[in-house]
Amino acid sequence: MQSAISEDKVVAFFQPIVNNKTKKIQKYECLARIGDNGKYLSPYKFMEAAKETKVLSFITKTIIKKAFKMFSENDYEFSINIVKVLMYHAY
pTM over 0.85? The answer is no
pLDDT attached to residue 84: 63
pLDDT tens for residues 24-83?
A: 999 999 999 999 888 998 888 888 888 888 888 888 899 999 999 999 988 889 999 887
Does 8 fall in a domain?
Answer: yes
Residue 85 lies in a domain: no
What is the SS3 assignment for 54? coil
**Domain boundaries, position 42:** 2-78
pLDDT beyond 90 at 88: no
Residue 68 maps to a domain? yes
If one counts the domains in the chain, the total is 1
Residue 58 vs residues 23, 25, 84, 85: alpha-carbon distances, Å: 35, 29, 15, 13
> In terms of Cα–Cα distance, which of 49, 42, 44 is closest to 2?
49
Q: Is residue 90 part of a domain?
A: no
Query: Domain for residue 88, yes or no?
Result: no
Q: What is the CA radius of gyration of the chain?
A: 14
Counting DSSP H helices and E strands in the chain, the numbers are 3, 4
In a domain, 87, yes or no: no
Which pLDDT belongs to residue 87? 56
